[in-house]
């Protein structure tokens, strides 16, 4: 069984666990205490030189960092990641959008907010919020006429987008101007295999 090194606060790790639930794949989840610096210890840096979670360790000891790389690996050969070049590119398009527009803006604004650093770095926080709202506006235009991110059905693109789009409020963003995004989030949450962010961690 693969091992996922993760932390409950990590929405990147949540992508992997949410995907595993949808695919019915077992994972052994190991919590890394980021505040205690566990991801910066030599044993973990040997698994990921960036010192970040999540990291997927395969049964042969191979380690794969970076959430979207893990998602691509795990979703390969499943309906969540098509093989036809154009269809695959449509899914990847939104995965790349998440990495360039959603994660670095909603993700950082959320982290600043929940750690109280939004008041210490108001300039950075305001800038990230502005770009995050632009990104949500782009999603709003898309989901205004599409039920899902790509191909008219639930795919890996929805999983990676959902991870941070679902916590926009935690970043201090008012989501009332984005009703189509909120409706899409509810569609994701209504799927039978959907799990909450704390799923997979030992009690």
Q: Are residues 59 and 105 located together in one domain of the fold? A: no
In the chain, the number of structural domains is 2
CATH of the domain at 19: 3.40.30.10
Query: Is 155 a domain residue?
Result: yes
DSSP count for the chain of H helices, then E strands: 8, 4
116 and 162 belong to one structural domain: yes
Percent of the chain having pLDDT more than 70?
100
Predicted confidence at residue 68, as pLDDT, reads 98
Asked if 193 and 22 touch (Cβ cutoff 8 Å), the reply is: yes
What pLDDT does residue 203 have?
55
Q: Which residue has the tokens 């995050």?
A: 132
How many angstroms separate the CA atoms of 109 and 130, rounded? Answer: 10
Q: What is the pLDDT of residues 141-193, one digit of tens each?
A: 999 999 999 999 999 999 999 999 999 999 999 999 999 999 999 999 999 99
- Rounded CA Rg of the chain: 17
Q: Are residues 93 and 183 in the same domain?
A: yes
Whether residues 124 and 166 fall in one domain: yes
Task: Please indicate, yes or no, whether residues 121 and 181 belong to a single structural domain of this protein.
Answer: yes
Distances (CA, A) of 55 to 17, 63, 126, 161: 12, 7, 31, 19
* Domain containing residue 118: CATH number: 1.20.1050.10
Query: Distance of CA 139 to CAs 161, 180, 182, Å?
Result: 9, 8, 10
Nearest alpha carbon to residue 130 among 176, 178, 173: 173
Q: Is residue 69 part of a domain?
A: yes
Instruction: Give the integer Cα–Cα distance in Å for 64 and 137.
Output: 32
Sign of the Cα torsion 40, 16, 117, 134 reads positive
**Percent of the chain beyond pLDDT 90?**
94
> Is the same domain home to 14 and 58?
yes
- Average pLDDT over the chain reads 96
Model confidence band, residue 202 (pLDDT cutoffs 50, 70, 90): confident
Which structural domain, as residue segments, surrounds residue 158? 85-189
Q: Is residue 12 part of a domain?
A: yes
Tokens matching residue 54? 């999540």
């Amino acid at each position: 069984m693969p091992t996922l090194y993760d932390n409950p606060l990590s929405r990147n790790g949540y992508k992997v666990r949410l995907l595993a639930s949808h695919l019915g794949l077992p994972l052994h989840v190991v919590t890394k205490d980021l505040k205690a610096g566990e991801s910066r210890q030599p044993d973990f840096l040997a698994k990921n030189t960036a010192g970040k979670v999540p990291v997927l360790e395969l049964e042969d000891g191979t380690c794969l960092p970076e959430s979207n790389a893990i998602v691509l690996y795990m979703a390969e050969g499943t309906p969540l990641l098509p093989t036809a070049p154009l269809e695959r590119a449509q899914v990847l398009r939104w995965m790349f959008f998440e990495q360039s527009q959603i994660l670095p803006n909603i993700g950082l604004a959320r982290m600043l907010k929940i750690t109280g650093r939004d008041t210490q770095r108001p300039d950075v926080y305001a800038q990230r919020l502005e770009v995050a709202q632009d990104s949500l506006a782009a999603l709003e235009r898309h989901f205004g006429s599409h039920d899902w991110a790509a191909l008219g059905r639930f795919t890996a693109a929805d999983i990676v987008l959902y991870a941070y789009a679902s916590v926009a409020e935690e970043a201090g963003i008012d989501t009332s101007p984005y009703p189509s995004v909120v409706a899409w989030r509810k569609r994701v949450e209504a799927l039978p295999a959907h799990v909450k962010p704390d799923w997979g961690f030992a009690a």
